[in-house]
Amino acid sequence: MDSQPFKTPLANILVIDDTPENLHLLAAMLTEQGYKVRSVTKGSAGLRGAAAAPPDLILLDINMPEMNGYEVCQQLKESDRTRDIPVIFISAMNDVLDKVKAFSVGGVDFITKPFQVQEVLVRVENHLTIRNLRSSLQEQNARLQQEIYERKQAEEKFAKAFRSSPSPIAIATLSEGQFIEVNNSFLRMSGYCLEEIIGHTAAELQLWISSQKYATTIAKLLEIGSLQNYEMEFRTKSGEVRIVLFSAELIDLSGTQCVLNIINDITERKRLENEFISLVSHELRTPLTSLIGSLDLLSTGQLGTLTAKGQKVLNIALTNTERLNRLVNDILDLERMKSGKITIQAVKCNADHLMIQAAEAMQAMAERAGITLVTEPVMAEIIADSDRILQILTNLLSNAIKFSEPGKSVWLRAKLRGDRLQIEVQDQGRGIPANKLQTIFEPFQQVDVSDSRKKGGTGLGLAICRNIVEQHNGDIWVESVLNQGSTFYVTLPLA
């Protein structure tokens, strides 16, 4: 039998046998196979040797003077240092009881003398392999224990951060949207107790004012994996509306896909911000109106004729004052809409009429900019505030014209989509970078900081559009390819 493939290289073997011939025979045979062999003739010497430099395996005779093999084995098993060394007994005693005793004191095998060389080699090799496997299992086990410990530590850290975070945090399943864990800050902000939340969904509790916006936000989350600081309106148990920044991450909890929501309540900050903006805007309105009146009067020439240079300066002053006036009006408009001071007056109206009206209003601007305006309306009735829809369409058309080069076209078209009308404003302009597609709908967000100065805008148009669309239970979004153009979509409920 060839034992080569199982060879454990350079294993250390200790042979303890009081018969010198046996000892020599075993030592020679094992050395020839490439093992390192130490041999001793006394049990006590064997114990000392094993303790000083533990071998990988021990071949042990039973019948020896002073201390027999059983006692040697027992002592080996009592010490931590030598306990795991496999001991193979080699003995001329062939009684079953002897063998049983050999195993009961901790031996792993028993070879009867006179032995066959090949048998000894195979058994030695087998036990060395078992020992190696056992020690690698032990190592693996220790590694796993360490990993479990580190994971537990990490979990504990996360659990602490979760529990003590001042920001409301909630974890819900992705498939059903059922809450499986929320922290105390979330309970405080929402006004619910734990039992009222766990197992329920945001939809059941009507936590989000616009369920549609929440659905679009979650769709976005699925698309990109994480969301940061989306402004949303949250309804507490008492019905109070809180303005929050909503961030979310997809996480895996024991194989279940979940959404980790972190909420930042900015209601107070927003209130102060709005209060400040509206205060300043109100204060600015009166002097601005008087300023525009005076500049207009100057431009009529009733107060004397201006030189050409004077007229140029006056024109600059007028353009800028008008822009400032637009800004102030837009701020006040948005603020009144958000605070619910103006609500929409939705009635049945013809979408095609509104589209044609909007296109006519923008025709002059398009011509000045060298843009071809193409209108493709559909006959459809919608429930809407016609003035406000006109405001949206003219705003989108004005942006499409503003951000396109002369010679290009702008399309205003509409399509029926189930119970909704989808209006599209498409241009062949400079496009919008992917990371700005959402933010441009926030107040004062522009792709380029110089846009308002160069293009005369206020950075509020799209925020106003979004507000109006939401009040109509509609949706607004944009798709764009840089340097090729953008398409703004507005969906509104059909009558």
Contact flag: residue 329 with ligand ADP (CB under 6 A): no
Q: Which is nearer to ligand ADP, 58 or 460 (CB)?
A: 460
Structure tokens at 256: 């279940």
3-class secondary-structure state, position 249:
strand
Degrees to nearest 5, angle at CA 211 with 207 and 217: 100
3-class secondary-structure state, position 82:
coil
DSSP H or E stretch at residue 36: strand 36-40
Q: Are 310 and 295 in contact (CB under 8 A)?
A: no
Nearest-CA neighbor of 231 among 240, 241, 222, 223?
241
Q: Which residue is closest to ligand ADP by CB?
A: 457
Contact flag: residue 475 with ligand ADP (CB under 6 A): no
Size of the site for ligand ADP (CB under 6 A): 22
| Residue 452 beta carbon to ligand ADP: minimum distance, rounded to whole angstroms | 5
* Residues near 355 by beta carbon (within 8 Å), at least 6 away in sequence: 375, 377, 393, 412, 414, 423
Cα atoms in the 13 Å half-sphere on the side-chain side of 344:
24
DSSP H or E stretch at residue 181: strand 179-182
Q: Which of these segments, 32-40, 164-172, 189-197, 454-462, binds ligand ADP (CB under 6 A)?
A: 454-462
- Encoded one letter per residue, x for contact with ligand ADP by CB under 6 A and - for no contact, window 426-445 reads -x-xx-x-------x-----
Using CB under 6 A, which of 86, 377, 461, 474 touches ligand ADP? 461
Name the β-bridge partners of 66. Answer: none
Q: Which is nearer to ligand ADP, 106 or 459 (CB)?
A: 459
Structure tokens at 214: 């929440």
Contact flag: residue 458 with ligand ADP (CB under 6 A): yes
Q: Which of these segments, 5-13, 51-59, 355-363, 458-466, binds ligand ADP (CB under 6 A)?
A: 458-466
Structure tokens at 86: 């496999």
| Residue 459 beta carbon to ligand ADP: minimum distance, rounded to whole angstroms | 4
Contact flag: residue 365 with ligand ADP (CB under 6 A): no
Contact flag: residue 333 with ligand ADP (CB under 6 A): no
- Encoded one letter per residue, x for contact with ligand ADP by CB under 6 A and - for no contact, window 391-430 reads ----x---xx--x-----------------------x-xx
Q: Tokens 């001793």, residue?
A: 40
DSSP per-residue codes, 170-222: EEEETTT-BEEEE-HHHHHHH---HHHHTT-BHHHHT-BS-HHHHHHHHHHHH
| Residue 191 beta carbon to ligand ADP: minimum distance, rounded to whole angstroms | 35
Q: Which is nearer to ligand ADP, 261 or 399 (CB)?
A: 399
Which chain residues interact with ligand ADP by CB under 6 A? 395, 399-400, 403, 427, 429-430, 432, 440, 446-448, 451-452, 457-463, 486
